[in-house]
Amino acid sequence: MKRIKLSQSLLPGLKANIQFSFLILISILFSACAGQKAIPKNQIDSTLELASEQYKYMKDLLPDNMFPKTYYASDDRFETSGSGWWVSGFYPGTLLFLYEDLKDEDLKREAERLLKDLKKEQFNKSTHDLGFMMYCSFGNVNRLNPNVEDQEILMNSAKSLSTRFNEKVGAIRSWDSSDDSFLVIIDNMMNLELLFWASEHSGDNRYRDIAITHANTTMENHFRKDNSSYHVVNYNVNTGEVIGKRTAQGAADDSAWARGQAWGLYGYTVMYRETRDKKYLNQAVNIAEFMLNHPNMPKDKVPYWDFDADNIPNALRDSSAGAIMASALLELSKYVDKGKSKKYFKIAEVALSTLMSEEYLAKKGTNGGFILKHGVGHLPENSEVDVPLTYGDYYFIEALLRYKNM
């Protein structure tokens, strides 16, 4: 091969051009990375530190063997539950998230204190919420420090949850009924992750099959043409026939209750992660696009409690729906094409920035020790309205850690 000799007079200019092009490339790459992380790391870290201080403050307000639900500032009233209530796993789960990041042993010890009482729920067959209760708590314990005892607790929890599955309906029963009704709520999508773990851990695909069947039945019957979801679908337990659809915690049966949409978004993102079946990815994207393109989605990306509330823009926001949505979108952004990935990441970023603002983030020593303000539990029943919610805190901290680690 003939070697080409460059004139010595051309070399300095060529070197300069190469150096300039390299600097331009580095600048572009740096700008792209900087643009993706608009929330400063020190703001994330200071928020996690604040959350730690809040939960240490909350610890001293908790009666023995009671779990936090919410706090009413109007009459300085702290509301708790026993271990059998569906939110019991979120407080120890949040403590474990914070311990994971901050390595504060006080947080770990407080989580362990409550877990001693919570572990008896592994045998509770009267609730569909064992994923929330046991996987958000013991699941995080096992993730941080895998051990036989906690794995046995999780397996027993999955066994208990699977007893609520009905083959005729093809779903896990959510709420019990005295007649032939078989009630399934969209929230139940969040409990399937426990079943996937159980199959992977035990090698028994029965748990995985139950989760997939439930997700398929929900996908077929819960969603409207615009990809919004009903809250409750009622099946006939004997035939599996759909006999009614409603939205118990929303503004109306045909409305889009915001937290319900967020549960669906998160649940089908998990379904794709666990199965890699594209139909679940498409379902998650469809739900995301419904929420994010809705004309009533606020610019700051913290949803009104119901997308169809009759007093928008004066309707209450639901910080818990915003936190669940943000956490789900961060994971979903890893599975979609570049355009959607950038969109979902940015919207999660905006939502988290809003939740870290003074409007939503509690000051130290206030809010009963909870982190977020302005959650809406069950407005039609005037229950937990415009208050902090333990599950809002859990998914907020999960989202912050996901963002920080991305």
Catalytic residues: 129, 187
Phi and psi, residue 70, nearest 5°: -165, 180
DSSP output for 37-65: --S-HHHHHHHHHHHHHHHHHHHTTPPTT
Question: What is the spatial distance between Cα 121 and Cα 46, in angstroms, rounded to a whole number?
Answer: 35
Closest of 182, 155, 147 to residue 167, by C-alpha: 182
Question: What is the spatial distance between Cα 375 and Cα 304, in angstroms, rounded to a whole number?
Answer: 10
Question: What is the spatial distance between Cα 137 and Cα 139, in angstroms, rounded to a whole number?
Answer: 5
Question: What is the spatial distance between Cα 252 and Cα 291, in angstroms, rounded to a whole number?
Answer: 17
Question: What tokens were used for 21?
Answer: 């092009």
Torsion sign over Cα 308, 311, 312, 316: negative
Given a contact cutoff of 8 angstroms between Cβ atoms, the answer to whether 328 and 267 are in contact is no
Closest of 402, 401, 388 to residue 58, by C-alpha: 388
Given a contact cutoff of 8 angstroms between Cβ atoms, the answer to whether 301 and 351 are in contact is yes
